[in-house]
Amino acid sequence: MQQDLRTGQYTGELFSEKQQIQETEDMEAENKSFKKRIAVRSKILREALAEFLGTFILIIFGCGSVAQTVLSSGAFGEMLTIHIGFTIGVIMAVYVAGGISGAHVNPAVSLAMCVTGRLSFLKFPVYVLSQFLGAFTGAAAVYGLYYDAFLNYTGGVLTVTGPNASAQIFATYPATYLSIFNGFMDQVVSTGALVLCIFAITDKKNNGAPKGMEPLLIGLIIMVIGVSMGLNCGYPINPARDLGPRLFTFIAGWGVEVFSAGNNWWWVPVAGPMVGGIVGALIYVAFIELHHHDPQKQSEEDHNVQDKYEMITMN
């Protein structure tokens, strides 16, 4: 009888274990079914979502670092922490979106990719719209995060210029000495350098970068541009990063001065990077990419050299 009890207990445990396995499998099947129902099947829509989220991440870290510096009157930040904020913001943005859309998070990069045949022009408007919306939403998130700090710092008066100006947290404005032409060229050169270096990092026929390290190296480009080309106007180098948050400040209470300040500066960080991105891309293609050796042709040349050497040796 004791043996029967043990057998019954064992059978009960086995049944309970099978029941648990079956319940686990049912839950997994239900989760997969739910995932299939909500998963986005359109490739371009997935890329749009990735560009939106990547740009959002860039702004919340980048502009967030500026907000912390300005609103604390320098007690919790300085230029270096702002550089670090934007650098890590770009790194994380590329990790977030890189495997889906390439993580351009910058219309100038997207345009350069289109011009060089790396991205279809049909996708360009979708990428750019997603980037602007991501930047706008990121700026709104930073404002919401520091809402009380804004009230404390500004006294409720949101200004573009003056001792308690705060619009520069979200968008760039030129130094007092900077002309429009010099500012435009600043953006052409700095964005050109950015895109040229991105092309080098992602060029597998050049040294390139180890897989998974591309975001880190692209972030370091942002760092070096910040410490070497940030004096004139704060290195916007990204139309979405500048115009998206600028539109937010216009709506949120800073007013039309966000567009008129700096001798109507607002269009320079939009047009300059677009031109600079194309220039940087074409320079890299003209100086480097066009002259890559075809691996098969290189192998044939090596064999021909070896054959000639063997013939000379035999003679």
Query: Binning pLDDT at 50, 70 and 90, where does residue 155 land?
Result: very high
Quick one: three-class SS letters along 167-194?
A: HHHCCCCCCCCCCHHHHHHHHHHHHHHH
When mean pLDDT is compared across 28-37, 210-219, 263-272, the lowest value belongs to 28-37
Name the amino acid, one letter, at 163. Answer: P
Element (H, E) at 298: helix 295-314
Angstrom CA distances, 52 to 2, 20, 111, 115, 271, stand at 67, 41, 17, 22, 21
DSSP codes, 13-58? HHHHHHHHHHHHHHHHHHHHHHHHHHS---HHHHHHHHHHHHHHHH
Q: Are the beta carbons of 140 and 147 closer than 8 angstroms?
A: no
Does a structural domain hold residue 18? no
Does a structural domain hold residue 78? yes
Q: What is the pLDDT of residues 171-221, one digit of tens each?
A: 999 999 999 999 999 999 999 999 999 999 999 999 989 999 999 999 999
Burial class (CB in 10 A: 0-12, 13-18, 19+), 30: exposed
Q: Could you give the CA distance from residue 159 to residue 169 in angstroms, rounded to a whole number?
A: 11
Angstrom CA distances, 303 to 150, 291, 295, 314, stand at 70, 21, 12, 16
* Structural domains of the chain, count: 1
Q: Which among 214, 202, 222 has a CA at the least distance from the CA of 88?
A: 222
Q: Which domain holds residue 227?
A: 43-296
Q: Is the dihedral of CA 253, 256, 260, 265 positive or negative?
A: positive
Residue 100 sits in a domain whose CATH number is 1.20.1080.10
Does a structural domain hold residue 304? no
**Which whole number is the average pLDDT over 232-236?**
97
Q: Could you give the CA distance from residue 44 to residue 279 in angstroms, rounded to a whole number?
A: 27
**Which whole number is the average pLDDT over 132-151?**
98
Q: Could you give the CA distance from residue 140 to residue 188 in angstroms, rounded to a whole number?
A: 28
Give me the pLDDT at residue 36, please.
73
Q: Could you give the CA distance from residue 247 to residue 241 in angstroms, rounded to a whole number?
A: 11
Q: Are the beta carbons of 175 and 233 closer than 8 angstroms?
A: yes
Does a structural domain hold residue 25? no
Does a structural domain hold residue 254? yes
Residue located via tokens 């074409």 = 282
CA end-to-end span of the chain = 98
Burial of 284-301, coded b for 16+ CB within 10 Å and e otherwise, reads bbeeebeeeeeeeeeeee
Give me the pLDDT at residue 259, please.
98
Give me the pLDDT at residue 15, please.
59
Does a structural domain hold residue 30? no
Q: What is the pLDDT of residues 87-141, one digit of tens each?
A: 999 999 999 999 999 999 999 999 999 999 999 999 999 999 999 999 999 999 9
Does a structural domain hold residue 311? no
Residue located via tokens 């044939």 = 300
Higher pLDDT, 85 or 38: 85
Q: What is the pLDDT of residues 41-78, one digit of tens each?
A: 899 999 999 999 999 999 999 999 999 999 999 999 99
Give me the pLDDT at residue 309, please.
45
Does a structural domain hold residue 189? yes
